[in-house]
Amino acid sequence: MNITMPAFVTDPFFILFVAVLVMVAGIIWFRLHAFIALLLAAFIVALMTPASSIEQFALASGMSAAEAVALAEKSIGERVAGAFGNTSAQIGILIAMAAVIGKCLLESGGAERIVRSVIRVTGISKAPFAFTVSSFFLAIPVFFDTVFYLMVPLAKALAARLKKNYLLLILSIAAGGTMAH
């Protein structure tokens, strides 16, 4: 029994839309961990991607025709695990080291010291600017999300102490972290 799928189901933009929908729904509605939602989306993308597209991608990546066919014939689990392994091999150490640096900055109070030093220079009235500058410099050695783990507690404490707009401080953190990346 041969099932013919509609053309839109194999469209790359439709597959991307489904993957994003699965991730957002998994994280927000089903309260899945982000890694699990991402892994589930990867399996769905692998399931929806036609073998011809996999072969075309492999040929465009420099594989031989036989290697391209072999890749397309691999199981979904093998393809997802292989892609995850390749990605981890390329950036795994970088991610681990950034996490270590972020943890050290948090535990040692280094992030707080940087913020306090910049506030001392700019003045307490320009605290949002100080948070932007501090976030920028902290985002250089660590990833964008780690900046939030470092800076949000500081912003919360400062907003409560100074009666400043908490949202403004959070947006300042986002601006500084975004500029660094």
Tens digits of residue pLDDT in 113-147: 999 999 999 998 899 999 999 999 999 888 888 88
Q: What's the CA gap between 158 and 167, in Å, rounded?
A: 12
Q: Are 68 and 59 in contact (CB under 8 A)?
A: yes
Task: Report helix, strand or coil for 154.
Answer: helix
Q: 């009666």: which residue's tokens?
A: 163
Residues of the chain with pLDDT under 50: 1
Tens digits of residue pLDDT in 40-49: 999 999 999 9
What is the pLDDT, as a whole number, of residue 88? 87
pTM tops 0.85, yes or no: no
Q: What's the CA gap between 157 and 61, in Å, rounded?
A: 51
Q: Are 132 and 115 in contact (CB under 8 A)?
A: no
Extended strands (E) in 75-125: none
- Alpha helices (H) along 109-126: 110-122
